[in-house]
Structure formats: structure tokens, C-alpha cells
């Protein structure tokens, strides 16, 4: 069995190369794997499944093409937590809870976006809890698409000012929170994104933590083939 993992594409209208890179990955690789997992922050912002803009339309098309070639799983990140069941059914994707344990090559693997393990950033964790609460999300989704676009634009302006998508500004995971997550799930392998610090970490014993990379100067993908893990950076189209 072959499985592909990506995360942190942060797609928006300002970076067409990233969307083009995803389209090319789907065309060239989705039919060579059994499943594609997107572990959060597929987009820079998602204002709701009723988004009728060009980026949302391209994403629907691209993910639909992916789900025709392999099983497609989408997990929320801290940017696209408003992706809902309508988008999932439109594209043939299955929404995955964060975290989730899935079986791959007869091994149980813990999948997560990763931000929940950055426990040293108390302020971030407070905002995370708010944004992921049903009450807050229901309130936002009750406002008009125009109001949500305005809210997204103001949050995005703040994010650019704060350079929030840069690894230096994202706190890394707390090692103890990783060990607890592995203990709780009773697994030896976890895969996550968010921190923009791609790598394969040997945690001792048979424990491993694989961190996916963000799509910026290149795209990042992890391919698991019968237990072999290959984490690579590949060029994005011009
Ligand atoms: Mn993230």
C-alpha cells in the first residue's frame, strides 16, 4: 500500500503556483497511491462551503479529480477549520478529526495538524479553542458570505503584518505533549504538519514523528510505501 501526505499549502489567490503544484501532484501521483491525506491548512483561509470565488472553485475541481484517483482525506488546520460537510461531499473527500488514528500497512498511525502540541504558546491555544468551538463557528457561518470575506481579509492583513506563517513565528511542539499523544493513542508513529519544520524524528524505542513541510519555495510530500517513509521537497510550477 502507498500513501501520500501533504499539509500547509496555504493556498490563496496570491500564490497560483501552489494551487498549480497541487493540480500537478494530483495528475501525476494520485493514481499511484491508495490514499491522499491533507493534514490541515490546505488554504490560507476558508470562509465557508458556500464560497463561490475562483480559488474555491479550482480547489473543488482539483480535489474532485484527486478523489477519483484515490481515497481522499482532509483534516482541518488552524486556517481552514470552516471546511465543512458540503465541501467534503462536493469533492468526494472524507473529513478527518484532529487527531485521528488510521491503519496504514497494518500499522496504526496518529495523524494530526500539529498545532495542539504547541502547548508553550498559551495565547495561541486560547484562540485555537475559540476558533474551533461550535458556538463561534456557528455564529460566523450565520453571517453573510460578504461579512465572512471581510472578516477573513482583516484577519489575513493582521496575519501578514505578524508574519504568522513563518516557521520562526510558529512555536515548535512540546516534546512531552508528543510523548503523551503517542501514549494516549498507543501508537509508535505520528505524522503532523503546522510547524513548518519538516523532518523525520527518531524519538527512541520504535517511536517516530514525521513533520510535513509548508508549500512555499517548494512543495513537500511524504510518501509511505510498505513502511518506508520518503519526505521530499519538489519544485512548484512557475
Ligand atoms: Mn497550521
Whether residue 196 contacts residue 166, with contact meaning beta carbons closer than 8 Å, is answered with: yes
Which stretch of 88-92, 159-163, 214-218 has the lowest confidence by average pLDDT? Answer: 159-163
Supply the pLDDT for residue 169: 86
CA 135 to centroid of ligand 1, rounded, Å: 21
CA 79 to centroid of ligand 1, rounded, Å: 6
pLDDT tens profile 31-42: 999 999 999 999
Residues in the 5 Å CB sphere of ion ligand 1: 41, 77-78, 194
- Model confidence at 66, in pLDDT bands (50, 70, 90)? very high
Supply the pLDDT for residue 118: 95
pTM: 0.96
CA 9 to centroid of ligand 1, rounded, Å: 10
- Model confidence at 156, in pLDDT bands (50, 70, 90)? confident
The residue-averaged pLDDT of 166-195 equals 95
The residue-averaged pLDDT of 146-167 equals 88
Supply the pLDDT for residue 25: 98
Is the pLDDT confidence value at 135 over 90? yes
- Pairing, β 189-192 against β 207-211: parallel
pLDDT tens profile 105-122: 989 999 999 999 999 999
CA 38 to centroid of ligand 1, rounded, Å: 12
CA 232 to centroid of ligand 1, rounded, Å: 19
- Model confidence at 162, in pLDDT bands (50, 70, 90)? confident
CA 229 to centroid of ligand 1, rounded, Å: 22
Domain residue extents for the chain? 2-234
CA 113 to centroid of ligand 1, rounded, Å: 7
Q: Which CATH superfamily is domain 2-234 in?
A: Metallo-dependent phosphatases (3.60.21.10)
Is the pLDDT confidence value at 157 over 90? no
Is the pLDDT confidence value at 63 over 90? yes
Amino acid at each position: 500500500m502507498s500513501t501520500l501526505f501533504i499539509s500547509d499549502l496555504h493556498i490563496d489567490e496570491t500564490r497560483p503556483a501552489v494551487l498549480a503544484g497541487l493540480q500537478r501532484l494530483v495528475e501525476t501521483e494520485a493514481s499511484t497511491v491508495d490514499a491522499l491525506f491533507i493534514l490541515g491548512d490546505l488554504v490560507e483561509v476558508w470562509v465557508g462551503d458556500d464560497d463561490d470565488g475562483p480559488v474555491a472553485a479550482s480547489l473543488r475541481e482539483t480535489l474532485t479529480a484527486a478523489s477519483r484517483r484515490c481515497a481522499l482525506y482532509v483534516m482541518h488546520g488552524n486556517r481552514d477549520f470552516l471546511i465543512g460537510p458540503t465541501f467534503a461531499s462536493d469533492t468526494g473527500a472524507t473529513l478527518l478529526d484532529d487527531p485521528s488514528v488510521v491503519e496504514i500497512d497494518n500499522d496504526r498511525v496518529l495523524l494530526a495538524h500539529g498545532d495542539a502540541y504547541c502547548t508553550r504558546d498559551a495565547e495561541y491555544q486560547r484562540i485555537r479553542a475559540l476558533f474551533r468551538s461550535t458556538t463561534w463557528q456557528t455564529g460566523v457561518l450565520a453571517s453573510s458570505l460578504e461579512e465572512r470575506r471581510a472578516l477573513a481579509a482583516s484577519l489575513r492583513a493582521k496575519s501578514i503584518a505578524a508574519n504568522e506563517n513563518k516557521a520562526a513565528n510558529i512555536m515548535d511542539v512540546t516534546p512531552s505533549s508528543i510523548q503523551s499523544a503517542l501514549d494516549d493513542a498507543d501508537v509508535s508513529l505520528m505524522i503532523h504538519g503546522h510547524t513548518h519544520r519538516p523532518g523525520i524524528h527518531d524519538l527512541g524505542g520504535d517511536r517516530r514523528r514525521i513533520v510535513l513541510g509548508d508549500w512555499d519555495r517548494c512543495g513537500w510530500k511524504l510518501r509511505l510505501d510498505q513502511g518506508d517513509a520518503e519526505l521530499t521537497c519538489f519544485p512548484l510550477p512557475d
